[in-house]
Structure 1
C-alpha cells in the first residue's frame, strides 16, 4: 500500500504481450516489513543479464527506498529470494527446469522469450523464490525489466521524468508470467539529425564529448526497457561518431544491444567523420587524396571497410551492405554512368563486402542488411543481386508512407525483410524534427500493411533526437513485439494504457483523448509545415480560426488536468502532454495572426493591422518562452539545450513570420468584411435549415480613433451576437437564424452596418426546408453548394471477393478513415459492381448537373503498382481515380504536396439528372487504400485548405456545430 501522502496512482500495467496466468497463490513480496528480498544472479551468466539485475536492484529501491542485496552465490537459507538466469547459462535455472519446478514451455529455444514464476522450495534452504528465466540473454533482460515495470518503474522514468510512486510494501503476482518471442526479431531506432541531443549531451553529460558513452548508456537502458534490441547510432558532423570511443561498442555488447549503421554507413563506417582521415593516410602515387568512389578507388575503400570489420568482429553487430555517397548523398560512380553500369558496380561492392565479412567476422557476421534507399532503390529494381541470406530493409518516403513492399519472391528470402521508418525527418519537401506528430493510427496502418507482407525481420525507426518521440516510439516498440495486439478499432486504447502507465490509470482516458485530438490536428498540417496562407481565414466560419479554437480547447483540457496532478507528476506531464500541444498551438497561432495582418492590409484597416502584428509577435514570444521553460525550469533544468525548434545546423521549424505595420493616422472610418469574402460583401452569407449555420461579419475601423457603429437586421428572425458599440480596431459579430420564426422557403435578407457617416449592407441568403423535411431527410443533404462527407460515415457496405472496407479510428483529418483490406488482396480492375468491395453513401441533391467529386485519400505509396479507387453515382458508369505512386523526393510536385497536406485529392465527376436522393458508391481498386473524406461541389464550394464542415446527416451529423473561433480582437 502507498505511504501516507503518496500520490494516489496505481502501479504500472504491462502490455498484453506479457501473459500472466491466473493464480490463487499469494503474491510474492519484494519488500515487506522494512526489508528487501535478496536478488541472485550467477556471474557465469551473460554480462548483460548481470548488469540488468543491478537495474532491478535500483528499481526496487526507487519504489521502496530499500535496496536489495545483489548476490552471486545462492543463499544457504532464505524465506524469499529472487533467482535470475538464462536457460543454458545459469546452473540454478537449468536445475529448476530439470526438476520440473519451472514451466519453460514456449520459452526454451525461442528468441528473447522469458518466464517469471514463483517456485516453492526451489533449492535446499530456500522456501520461496521469484524466478526470472530467459531463453537467451535478452530474454532474461526483458524479464527483469518486466518486473521493474510491474512494480511501477516506467521505461521513461529517466528520459521523461515519470515519477516512481513510493510504496512501503512491494509485491508481484505469483504467475507464471510469460513473454513469448516477439513478432519482429530486430527492433530499434536510428538516432539522427541529433544536433539538439549533441548540444544537451555536451552541456550536461560529457563536456569533452559530443555524445559519448555516458549518453549511450542511458539510450541503451531505455531501449531495453522498451523491449528494443537494435541501434543505428548518431552519425552527423556535429556529433562524435559511435566508434570514435571504443567504450561505445563494448558497452553496447555489455547491455545486449545490437549495433548497426544506416544506409550511407556501410560496414559500420561513418563516412562523415572517418573517410577523410583514412584518405589522408592512403594518398595516391601522385599525392592525390582518394575519393569515395568504388569505381576509382576500390582497394582503398575495401581496406577501409575491412579495418572496421576486424575491429568490431567480437561484438554482436548488424552489417550494412552496399554503398551511398558520403554524408547521406547519392552514390558516386565516376566510371559508371548508366544504370546497368551502376548496377554492376553495386554487385561488385556487395561481393567485396561479403568476402570481407566472411574473412574477418565469419559466421557471426549476421544479420547483414541491404537498404534500397532513394537512388539505391532504383538500382535494386534495375537488377542489383542481393544474396538470399541478406535482409532487405524497405524504406518509407521519409514521411511515413512505405515506398515499396516485397513481392512473392522477396518474401521467401532466407534473410527476410525489414523496414526503415521515419517518426522524424530532415529533408524534402519539409522537415519535422521538433514534435511527435505522426498519428498512431497512421503508424499502425503502415506497419500492419508491411507485416502482412511478411516484413518481420527488422524494424528501424528514425527518432531524430529521441526526446520528442516518447509516445510514438513506445507504440512502435509495443507493436513490434506483438503486432496483433492493436487493431483498427482500438489503436487509441494504446494511448489510454500508455498514459495510465505514466500518470495513473484513472487519467489514461483523458490523456488519450487529449493526445488523439493533438494528433488529429497535426494530421491536418504538421506544426513544422505551417506557412503563410495555408488555412483560410475567410471561408467556413474562418477555417484557420476554428482550427485554433480546437487547439485552444485541447490545450485547456491538458492544462486543467495538469493542474490536478500531484507535484511529482508535473514535469513528466509538461514534457509528454502539455508542451507538445502548447508548442504546436503557438506555432499555428503566430502564422494565423500574420495571415490576418496581411489580410487586414488588403482590406484597408487601420489599427487592426498593427493589432494583428502585435498578436503574431506575441505568439512567437510565447513559443520561445515555453521552450525556455522546458530547457531551464522543467526537472530543474535537466534538459538544458535539448528542446529547440530552431537548431542552427539543420532545417528549422517555421520561425518568426514577417508582419506589416502602418503609421498611425488620427482618423476613423467604417469597414466591413464578411465570411466568404476577403474584401467587401459580394458573396452573400448562406444559411440552411439543415446545417443551421453561424456566419461572421467583421466590422472594422479604417483608422485609429474610436468609432461608434451599429448593426440592424432586415427581418426579426435574423439574430446578431453584437448590434453596436464603440471600437478601435474591429468587432466580429456572428449572424444566426431563428429557425422557429423564419417562414419556409428561400429568403433574402440584409444586415445593415452603420458608423462614421457610412452605411454598408450585408446580404444574406436563407433556405428553410422546414423541421419536418429535416427530420425526413435520409443521408447527406446538399447545402451551400456542396456535399461534404466523412468517409467513415457510410450508410452501407458490401464485401466482395474476400475483401472489404473497414473503419480505422483516429486516422486522418477527422475522427477516422476507411481502409480497403486485406492489404494482400488482388487489385480489382474491371466489373467493379460485381467484384469490388463497396461503400455506399446516401446523398440528397437539390438540383441537377455534372459535378466534381473529390476523394481525399491518405497518400500511401506502391512504387511497383497503383494507388487507385473508384466512384460512381447510382448505377452510372464507374470512374477509376489514380493516385500518386512514386516518392519523388522533390519539392513542389504532387508527392510533396501530398505529404505536406497528409492527403491526396483525387477528382472525378458525377451527373445528377434529377434532384432528390441518390447513392454515391466508393469501390476498392487497389488494396490498402485509405479514404478520409469525400466532397461534391455543386457550384458553391469555396477554395480552402480543409474540406468544408460535414454536411447534415440525420444519423451521423444531425446537429452540425458552427461555433465561434478564437478571434480575441473584439473590443
Structure 2
C-alpha cells in the first residue's frame, strides 16, 4: 500500500507507456504467475481500454516499442537473456536471488529484436513475482478490493512505467493471512446465494486473488460446523479447493482446533461421532490417528502448514484428567505421522496454536519441537496474551500471532461490521513484531466483507512493518481513500474514515447498551451523538457530489458504516432517554419511544439497502444480516441474537393529567434524574419549590472559569394541557438564560432546554462561590427552583496547573506536550485509546525500566485544588492491554502525589501465566483499565502528581482527581487545558 512508486499517469524522461504492450511470460513458470498475469491483462484493459496480448515467445512476433516481462528468477528463461545482453542497462538480480517473496522492477534495453525496451517484473520466487504483478495493478489504479467492494477503476489514456529500479525485499512477516471464521449467517448465506450450497472453488478464487492482491499468502479456510448440515469443510466441499489454492500460491493450514489438515466437519460427516468420540483416550485414539493420517497424506502434494495439537469437541478445552500429558502424547503422535508421510517431521512447516488453555499447557511444560512455530494468541478482542521470551525468539520454527478482528464468545460477541480502531491494531501488532513475532500473522476476519479497512491495515503492517508509524494513521486512511476513490476525494474520505476510527475506539458497537453513555453528565451521550451525526452528514453531502462510478464503493466502505453506527448508538441513547423521561412522566416519553422504533426500522432499511442497492443490485444480499440488537441480559451471556430486539420501552398515558399536587409543568436539571421523579410528593405543594433533601435533585453542575461555562435545565409538560412558563428575572447580569420563557403544547415531541451561560468571567464578582437560585413559573401556578453553583475562585497568576472545577480535576495526558528530554523516554500515540488527544507510553526503544529504574523520568502534572479532601481519589485510565510478559513480572507503574509514593502498582496481574486477569471481562469492553488510589489532599492549593510506567504496554490516557464532585459517566470528566480562561474540552 505504501510501496515505492513504479508507475505514473503523466509522461516523463525515459518513461515507458504500458498501454497495449504485450506481456511476455515463460510457459514453464509457475501457474500462479500466469494467473496473476491474466489478472493484470484484465486490469490494464480496465484502465487503458485495451487488453494486452500475453506472449510466451519472442519468435515470430511483430516489432513493438516495448514489452512487459514477468517472471521468477528460478524458472523464467527470458530473465537470463536480459541479464546477459546489456550489462549497462540490465538489472542485477543478485539482490533478490534466493530471498523470500521479493521482487524487482526496472526498465532496460531489449535483448530481442522484437522490442526496443522491456519493463521487467522479476521475482525471487513464485509469490515474489505475483506480488510484483499486483503491485503494478494497484499502482495503475486497481484496488485489491475492486471486486469485493465494487471499486471503480479510473480510465486513463496512458499509464507509464518509471525508469527506476525498485527492489522490494523480504516481507516483514513470512506467512500472512486470514481465518474465515464465524461465517454464519452472513457470509455463509451470501456464498450459498452466489456460488452454490458450499464454499466452492468459485468462491475461493475470489478469496485467493484478494489475498494475493493484499500481499498475503496464508489461509485458515471457512470451517463453521453445523447448520446447514453438515457445515463447511474446505477439503471436501469442493475437491478442487486445495489444488486451486496451491496453483494460486496460497498456503493452506487449518485453525487452532482443526489439527492435521482436517476440519471438524469431516469428523462429523464421517460419522466418527457414532463410532468414536473426539477424545484422546485408549478407546478413541486409534480412530483419531487414522483420521490424522488421512489429513497429512492429502496435504502432502501441496504447500501447507500443518496445525498440531487438539482441543475438545466444539472448540473447548480437553476433557482429560491430565491434559498436559495428553497433549504431549497427541503432539508426539502427530509428529510421528508427519515423519511417516513426509520422510521427516521437519520436512513440512508446522504450527502449534497456544490458544486459551493450550498456552497454560505449554507453560506447564508441554514440549513443542524447535522447528514448530509457536502461535501466540490475543484475548479474542485484540489484546495479545503472551509475547515470546528471547529464547523463544530464536526457535527455528519462529513465533506467530493469532489476532481477532471479530469474535463469538465471552463476554460478548462482535461480528456485525468493523468495530476495530487502527491505533489499537498498530500498537499491538508492532509490539508483537518488536518482540520477535515475525513468522506468522493470522487475522480472524469473520465475514471478510465488513472488514476491508482494518484487514488492509493489518496486512500492510505484515508486508512492511515500517510503512506505518503511529502518527501516520491519517496517512493510511488518505492513501486507502486515494487508492479506492482517486486523489480528488482522498482527503475528505480519509478524514471521514479517521473520524469513524476514533469513534470506534470508544467502544465496540455490539458492546453498547442504553446505559453505556451518560445522558445526564458531562453532555457525554449528546456529544457522542453529535460527532456521529456530523460525520454522517458530511458523508451524505460528499456522496451527493461523487460521480456515479464511485457511489457503490463509497456506500459500502464509508457511508453505510458511518450511518449504521450513528443509528445504532442513537437508538440506544434514545432508549435511555425514553426510560428517563418515563420515570419523570414527561409527555415526550412517547415521542422518544417512537423515535426508538423509527431508528429500529431505519437500521433494517439500511441493511436492506446494502442487500439490494441501486448500484449493485442484490450482489451483497445477506452480507449484513447479522442481528445486533437484543443481547442477553445475563452478563455472562455472550451469544449473538437470533433476531433483533428492542426491550424496555416506556410509555405514559397521554390522555391523563398528573395529580394536582404534582402539577403539569416539570423541571429537570442536567446531571440528576430528580428526587422522587414522577411520584407524588405528599409533603409539598406544586406552588412551592423542592426544598431540603429534595433540593439536590435540582442542583446543576458547577460553572467555573477552569471548567464549564454553561449548563442547562429542561422544562417539560406532564399533562393534557399546554404549559406556558417563564424564568424569574435574574439579578445577575453576567448570567445569560436562554430562552427565558416559552410554551409547551401537550403533544409536543421535544421539551424546552434552557441554557445557563457565563461568557465573560471578568464580570463575575471575584471569589464568588455560591449557589444561585433560579425560579421557573407557569401560568397555571406551578413553581420550581433550580440551583446553579458558580465558582469564581482563582488561582494565583504565577501558577500553571490543571485546576479543580465541579469537584474534580481531569487531565487528558495526550494534550500535554512532551519536552525534548522526555521524548527520549516517552512517545505520544495520537490515535490510540478513547480520547481524541491519544495516549502516552514508553518509547519503543526504551529498555524495560525494571532494569533501568532510575533512567526513566517521571511525568509530572501540577494540579490546583480549592476543596480540601482527606481522601481524594486519583483514577488513572490506561489503554486496555494484557500482561504479555513471559517472565511473569506484572505490568506496573509508580504514582507519587505530593510526598506520598505508590511504588510498583500493578496494572493487570494474573493468578498464573495463562489466566485472564480479574476484571478483564469489563475492561475488554470498556477498552480501558481504570485504577483508583486514595491520597491525602486535605490542604487545598497546589499539588504535584508524578507518574512513571514500569513496562512496555502500560499506556496512560487520562488522570482524574476526584475531590468529591466526580459524576458517573463512561469516559469520565472531560479533560481541560491548564490555562486560565475558557479551556479546551477533549472527549
With normalisation by structure 1, the TM-score equals 0.91
- From 666, 670, 674, the equivalent of 1:671 is 666
Cα distance between partner residues in 1 of 2:405 and 2:364: 29
Superposed, 1:595-674 pairs within 5 Å as: 595-605=576-586, 607-633=587-613, 634-646=615-627, 651-652=640-641, 655-667=645-657, 669-674=664-669
Residue by residue, what CA displacement relative to the aligned partner does 1:5-64 show, whole Å, maximum 9, x if unpaired? Answer: xxxxxxxxx514678999974221111xxxx11111111000000111000010011112
Residue by residue, what CA displacement relative to the aligned partner does 1:947-969 show, whole Å, maximum 9, x if unpaired? Answer: 111124229x9533599xxxxxx
In structure 2, the residue matched to 1:969 is none
Cα distance between partner residues in 2 of 1:332 and 1:880: 39
Conserved? CA contact 1:799–1:838, under 8 Å: no
In structure 1, the residue matched to 2:735 is 718
Cα distance between partner residues in 2 of 1:885 and 1:609: 45
In structure 2, the residue matched to 1:700 is 716
**Stretch deviating more after TM superposition (128-137 or 175-184):** 175-184
Cα distance between partner residues in 2 of 1:557 and 1:943: 32
Alignment of 1:689 onto 2:678? no
In structure 2, the residue matched to 1:476 is 458
Cα distance between partner residues in 1 of 2:880 and 2:502: 16
Cα distance between partner residues in 1 of 2:111 and 2:91: 9
In structure 2, the residue matched to 1:902 is 927
Cα distance between partner residues in 2 of 1:887 and 1:240: 38
Structure 1 residue 276: Cα displacement: 2.6
Conserved? CA contact 1:20–1:175, under 8 Å: no
Conserved? CA contact 1:49–1:85, under 8 Å: yes
Cα distance between partner residues in 2 of 1:471 and 1:332: 39
In structure 1, the residue matched to 2:686 is none
In structure 2, the residue matched to 1:959 is 983
Residue by residue, what CA displacement relative to the aligned partner does 1:169-217 show, whole Å, maximum 9, x if unpaired? Answer: 222222212221101000000011111111111112x23x232111110
In structure 1, the residue matched to 2:690 is none
- From 192, 211, 220, the equivalent of 2:199 is 211
Distance 1:768 1:664, change over 3 A: same
Residue by residue, what CA displacement relative to the aligned partner does 1:582-614 show, whole Å, maximum 9, x if unpaired? Answer: 111111111111111111122122x22111111
Distance 1:555 1:230, change over 3 A: same
Distance 1:625 1:279, change over 3 A: closer
Structure 1 residue 917: Cα displacement: 2.9
- From 61, 70, 82, the equivalent of 2:54 is 70
Structure 1 residue 828: Cα displacement: 2.7
Cα distance between partner residues in 2 of 1:795 and 1:38: 56
Superposed, 1:738-817 pairs within 5 Å as: 738-739=759-760, 740-746=762-768, 747-755=770-778, 756-769=780-793, 777-794=799-816, 804-815=825-836, 816-817=838-839
Structure 1 residue 872: Cα displacement: 1.0
Distance 1:942 1:507, change over 3 A: same
Alignment of 1:733 onto 2:754? yes
Cα distance between partner residues in 1 of 2:504 and 2:708: 28
Structure 1 residue 291: Cα displacement: 4.1
**SS class of match (1:883):** strand
Structure 1 residue 769: Cα displacement: 4.1
**SS class of match (2:470):** coil
Distance 1:152 1:23, change over 3 A: closer
Structure 1 residue 647: Cα displacement: 8.1
Conserved? CA contact 2:727–2:774, under 8 Å: yes
Conserved? CA contact 1:525–1:901, under 8 Å: yes
In structure 1, the residue matched to 2:908 is 884
Distance 1:710 1:214, change over 3 A: same
In structure 2, the residue matched to 1:578 is 559
Conserved? CA contact 2:582–2:589, under 8 Å: yes
Alignment of 1:136 onto 2:125? yes
RMSD: 2.7
In structure 2, the residue matched to 1:232 is 220
Distance 1:879 1:706, change over 3 A: farther
Superposed, 1:144-163 pairs within 5 Å as: 144-163=133-152
Cα distance between partner residues in 1 of 2:468 and 2:338: 39
Cα distance between partner residues in 2 of 1:183 and 1:962: 36
**SS class of match (2:450):** coil
Conserved? CA contact 1:23–1:175, under 8 Å: no
**SS class of match (1:489):** helix
In structure 2, the residue matched to 1:455 is 437
Superposed, 1:553-564 pairs within 5 Å as: 553-564=534-545
Conserved? CA contact 1:417–1:454, under 8 Å: yes
Distance 1:760 1:602, change over 3 A: same
In structure 1, the residue matched to 2:634 is none
In structure 1, the residue matched to 2:688 is none
**SS class of match (1:826):** coil
Distance 1:643 1:37, change over 3 A: same
In structure 2, the residue matched to 1:928 is 953
Distance 1:667 1:748, change over 3 A: same
Cα distance between partner residues in 1 of 2:538 and 2:23: 44
Structure 1 residue 556: Cα displacement: 1.5
In structure 2, the residue matched to 1:316 is 303
Structure 1 residue 349: Cα displacement: 0.9
Cα distance between partner residues in 2 of 1:645 and 1:904: 29
**SS class of match (1:745):** coil
**SS class of match (1:155):** coil
- From 856, 867, 874, the equivalent of 1:853 is 874
In structure 2, the residue matched to 1:5 is none
**SS class of match (1:460):** strand
In structure 2, the residue matched to 1:594 is 575
Cα distance between partner residues in 2 of 1:416 and 1:891: 25
- Aligned pair count? 924
Structure 1 residue 525: Cα displacement: 1.5
Distance 1:709 1:774, change over 3 A: farther
**SS class of match (1:904):** strand
Structure 1 residue 313: Cα displacement: 0.9
In structure 2, the residue matched to 1:186 is 175
- From 47, 57, 61, the equivalent of 2:45 is 61
Cα distance between partner residues in 1 of 2:645 and 2:830: 33
In structure 2, the residue matched to 1:508 is 490
In structure 1, the residue matched to 2:683 is none
Conserved? CA contact 2:908–2:917, under 8 Å: no
Cα distance between partner residues in 2 of 1:949 and 1:874: 23
Distance 1:855 1:590, change over 3 A: same
Structure 1 residue 526: Cα displacement: 1.2
Cα distance between partner residues in 2 of 1:220 and 1:861: 34
Cα distance between partner residues in 2 of 1:91 and 1:892: 59
Cα distance between partner residues in 1 of 2:167 and 2:469: 22
**Stretch deviating more after TM superposition (527-536 or 506-515):** 506-515
Distance 1:538 1:647, change over 3 A: closer
Alignment of 1:96 onto 2:85? no
Alignment of 1:40 onto 2:64? no
Cα distance between partner residues in 1 of 2:470 and 2:158: 39
**SS class of match (1:330):** coil
Residue by residue, what CA displacement relative to the aligned partner does 1:393-415 show, whole Å, maximum 9, x if unpaired? Answer: 00000011000111122111110
In structure 2, the residue matched to 1:4 is none
Structure 1, unpaired ranges of 5+? 1-13, 964-971
Structure 1 residue 717: Cα displacement: 2.1
- From 923, 941, 945, the equivalent of 2:966 is 941
Cα distance between partner residues in 1 of 2:953 and 2:214: 29
Cα distance between partner residues in 2 of 1:174 and 1:657: 64
Alignment of 1:115 onto 2:110? no
Structure 1 residue 294: Cα displacement: 4.2
Structure 1 residue 123: Cα displacement: 2.1
Cα distance between partner residues in 1 of 2:810 and 2:279: 55
Conserved? CA contact 1:667–1:704, under 8 Å: yes
In structure 1, the residue matched to 2:513 is 531
Structure 1 residue 699: Cα displacement: 0.9
**SS class of match (2:875):** strand
In structure 2, the residue matched to 1:842 is 862
**SS class of match (2:456):** helix
Alignment of 1:299 onto 2:291? no
Structure 1 residue 144: Cα displacement: 0.6
